[in-house]
Structure 1
């Protein structure tokens, strides 16, 4: 259940990231249209753009880190689930062996 929730979270974050990229592209297009301003305003605009790009890069890095963490969590959950399945199989095998031993003992007892 947690695995499914984490997968849904990952999908949502990927969708948000795609929307984020689309918005970034639109904003870059708008900035290109406004290049008819004076040199001073162009310099100021470039400065703001650099700051914005830096901010976007930081946000992207944060998103990547979050995704990596969630992937690690998913891998750990999958590993735990596999271990649990393995333990259940071992338990079933042990129960079966125990029942067989009990049957053998009962048969030996009945022979006496």
Structure 2
């Protein structure tokens, strides 16, 4: 004990208050530690959320790329279809040209046939003319015979 009786009387109570303050500091330290841990957990959660958002953005970007590829392929297919249509049109035009050519050949064949018929007719006419000439010749011959 000390020489001061008041101090001796206060000392045990001071020790209790000191222990209480120490327990309070310990609780405060634990609360602070729990708060820091909760804050670290909230930060980890915010980071996970940012990562999920980045992943969603990467997924949207992949979908946009896929959509662009699909659109490009649609355009290519449309162009191929337009080219096939142009080819069909060229083929139809070639067919029309072949048909016009066949028509011209039929016209030429008709003209040739008409000309052949005319030539035959002229030949028949010449033959009739020769026959008439022979007939006149026979007639003259008979005439001469009668005169004799």
Whether the TM-score (by the shorter chain) exceeds 0.5 is: yes
Q: 2:28 maps to which residue? A: 56
**Does 1:96 find its partner at 2:73?**
no
C-alpha separation in 2, matches of 1:95 and 1:87? 12
Consecutive unaligned residues in structure 1, runs of 5 or more: 1-36
Which runs of structure 1 show a deviation greater than 4 angstroms over 4 or more consecutive aligned residues?
Answer: none
> Does the residue aligned with 1:38 lie in a helix, a strand or coil?
helix
Aligned CA RMSD, in angstroms, stands at 1.3
Larger radius of gyration: 2
Give the TM-score taking structure 2 as reference length.
0.49
C-alpha separation in 2, matches of 1:104 and 1:57? 69
Consecutive unaligned residues in structure 2, runs of 5 or more: 1-8, 85-148
